[in-house]
Amino acid sequence: MKEIDWSTLGFHYTEPDYIVRSAYHNGVWEEPYATKDKYLHLHVSATCLQYGQEAFEGLKAFRGVDGKIRIFRWRENAKRMARSAEGLYMAPVPEELLGKAIRLALEKNMDFVPPYGTGATLYFRPLLIGTTPRLGVGPGRDFEFIVIPSPIGPYYPGKFHCTSFIVNRHVDRAAPYGTGTFKVGGNYASSFRATEAAHAQGYDCLFLDSKYHRYIDECSAANFIGIRRVAGDSQPCGGYEYLTPRSSAILPSITNDSLMTLAREKGMKVTRRHIRLEELAEMSEAAACGTACVISPIDQVLDPERNKVYRFGTEPGPVLTELYHALRDIQFGRAEDRHGWTEVFEN
Ligand SMILES: Cc1ncc(COP(=O)(O)O)c(C=O)c1O
């Protein structure tokens, strides 16, 4: 085990011993291999540099209560990466190759898997880049697939706490039917102006749909979840509806998909539809969700142009807290994995 203070790790890069690489030339992927070299020898005119032909993913391995290491839903990340690749006219990384590369990255960096009980995990960043030199605008036909592991700290060191969001109608993240449903670097670069402006004011950025600026799209780099009371008082989740946006510009979150399944199992109504910003007033709880944080409860959303604040209380609400623990328990092996979401890593 590495000498790392797991409790102070944030969502920051910690240099692993090895990364894993595989190149694609003439229609063939090479066998993935581990290397200590973290630098690429890349042509200055590579399509990833010139035209942003790149896609990435994010997933985690968890050391469980039983000491076993579980990789969470990596096949879903592989499918999403294949969609992103097609979206940017790149060769998709075959699912089995991605799985092999993740397992190799884990095997070669076992000392970086944080111990159970610290809340820290081993994060994997699969990355796909276009490497063909090109000056004329167009896609390349050579690619490099890389898996970069890094231990990351608990999103909430100490306790599960809330974040505040601010609405931005001046910078759009992605166009309807553009690249918003793909996990590609350009979406993030184009959102930096809005997210940095929000951070400067002490908020995260809530993106509205780019066409009407009326519906909720994404919470910075996470999906939105709203909880609304619908009927009865059945505890703890039964009388609530789980609402999440339908949009042609947001990333289909694997965490959101998992939480929707758990919410249905707890008797909640689950609805994916366009959600008007003003509907926040009818919600008892709201959150951002994604691999990094699982659920990040929202205490307030400020809409400065309409002079409006939507408040959800300064403590995480009961429904989201219940869903958060349900998913964490599966990831850390404390609850039965009835959906086959985790793959135990056999070394
Ligand atoms: C833009 C965006 N939306 C949503 C998510 C959440 O997706 P997931 O739950 O698969 O991590 C992410 C993180 O990957 C993201 O970058």
Q: Characterize the bridge pairing of strands 204-208 and 163-168.
A: parallel
pLDDT at 157: 66
222 Cβ closer than 6 Å to some ligand 1 atom: yes
Instruction: Work out which ligand 1 atom sits closest to the CA atom of 256.
Output: 9
Q: Are 330 and 318 in contact (CB under 8 A)?
A: no
184 Cβ closer than 6 Å to some ligand 1 atom: no
Q: Are 172 and 134 in contact (CB under 8 A)?
A: no
The residues pairing with 59 across neighbouring beta strands, listed in sequence order, are 124
254 Cβ closer than 6 Å to some ligand 1 atom: yes
Instruction: Work out which ligand 1 atom sits closest to the CA atom of 223.
Output: 4
Distances (CA, A) of 14 to 8, 11, 149, 272: 12, 9, 9, 37
Distances (CA, A) of 63 to 66, 74, 177, 190, 258: 8, 16, 38, 35, 19
221 Cβ closer than 6 Å to some ligand 1 atom: yes
Residue 263 in this model has a pLDDT that exceeds 90: yes
297 Cβ closer than 6 Å to some ligand 1 atom: no
> Buried (b) or exposed (e) across 112-146, using 16+ Cβ within 10 A?
bbbebebbbbbbbbbbbbbbbebeeeeebbbbbbb
126 Cβ closer than 6 Å to some ligand 1 atom: no
184 Cβ neighbours under 8 A, 6+ residues apart: 52, 54, 55, 56, 84, 87, 88
Q: Are 210 and 172 in contact (CB under 8 A)?
A: yes
The pTM of this model reads 0.96
Assess whether the region 6-152 and the region 163-331 belong to the same CATH fold: no
Mean pLDDT for 147-164 is 85
pLDDT at 160: 74
43-73 pLDDT per residue, tens: 999 999 999 999 999 999 999 999 999 999 9
pLDDT at 8: 83
Q: Are 128 and 143 in contact (CB under 8 A)?
A: yes
> Buried (b) or exposed (e) across 322-345, using 16+ Cβ within 10 A?
bbbebbbebbbbeeeeeeebbbeb
Number of Cβ within 10 Å of residue 101's Cβ equals: 25
Place of tokens 């709203």: 226
* Residue to probe by mutation, ligand 1, list 206, 216, 253, 296, most atoms within 8 Å of CB: 253
Q: Are 140 and 131 in contact (CB under 8 A)?
A: yes
Mean pLDDT for 285-297 is 95
pLDDT band at 346 (very low <50, low <70, confident <90, very high): confident
* Domain spans of the chain, in order of start: 6-152, 163-331
Q: How far is the CA of 221 from the centre of ligand 1 (A)?
A: 6
Find, among 26, 28, 24, 32, the residue nearest to 48 by Cα.
24
| CATH T-level assignment (fold) for domain 6-152 | D-amino Acid Aminotransferase; Chain A, domain 1 (3.30.470)
290 Cβ closer than 6 Å to some ligand 1 atom: yes
Structure-derived torsion over alpha carbons of residues 79, 80, 84, 87, reported in degrees to the nearest 10: 70
318 Cβ closer than 6 Å to some ligand 1 atom: no
Q: How far is the CA of 254 from the centre of ligand 1 (A)?
A: 7
Which residue puts its alpha carbon closest to atom 15 of ligand 1? 221
C-alpha count within 13 angstroms, C-beta hemisphere, residue 154: 17
251 Cβ closer than 6 Å to some ligand 1 atom: yes
Helix (H, G, I), strand (E, B) or coil at 14: coil
217 Cβ closer than 6 Å to some ligand 1 atom: no
344 Cβ neighbours under 8 A, 6+ residues apart: 68, 69, 70
pLDDT at 11: 84
Cα torsion 251, 257, 263, 268: sign: positive
| CATH T-level assignment (fold) for domain 163-331 | D-amino Acid Aminotransferase; Chain A, domain 2 (3.20.10)
Which residue puts its alpha carbon closest to atom 1 of ligand 1? 221
